[in-house]
C-alpha cells in the first residue's frame, strides 16, 4: 500500500497517521463517475485506478 506520511509533509515528529493517497484517488474516480459501490465494475475500476496511481507516485 502506497502511503504518504503527514509527518514528512509538515515536518512534525509524533504520532501523525499516514494517508493512502492511491486509495483516496481510486475512490474519487468511482464517486466522480457515479459508479455504484459493491459491483464487479466498481472493483475492476478501483483496482485499475489504484494500480495506475502506484506507478505514478
Q: How confident is the model at residue 56 (pLDDT cuts 50, 70, 90)?
A: confident
Domain that holds residue 35: 4-8+16-56
CA 20 to mean position of chain CA atoms: 5
In the chain, the number of structural domains is 1
Residue keyed to cell 493517497: 21
Determine the pLDDT at residue 42: 92
Tell me, yes or no, if the pTM score tops 0.85: no
26-52 core/surface letters (b: 16 or more CB in 10 A; e: else): bbebbeeeeeeeeeeebeebbeebbee
**Tens of pLDDT, residues 5-50:** 544 545 445 544 556 888 899 999 999 999 998 899 999 999 999 9
For the cut 70, the answer to whether the pLDDT of residue 4 exceeds it is no
Amino acid at each position: 500500500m502506497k502511503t504518504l506520511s503527514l509527518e514528512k509533509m509538515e515536518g512534525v515528529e509524533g504520532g501523525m497517521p499516514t494517508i493512502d493517497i492511491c486509495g483516496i484517488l481510486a475512490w474519487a474516480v468511482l464517486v466522480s463517475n457515479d459508479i455504484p459501490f459493491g459491483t464487479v465494475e466498481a472493483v475492476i475500476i478501483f483496482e485499475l485506478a489504484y494500480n495506475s496511481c502506484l506507478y505514478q507516485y
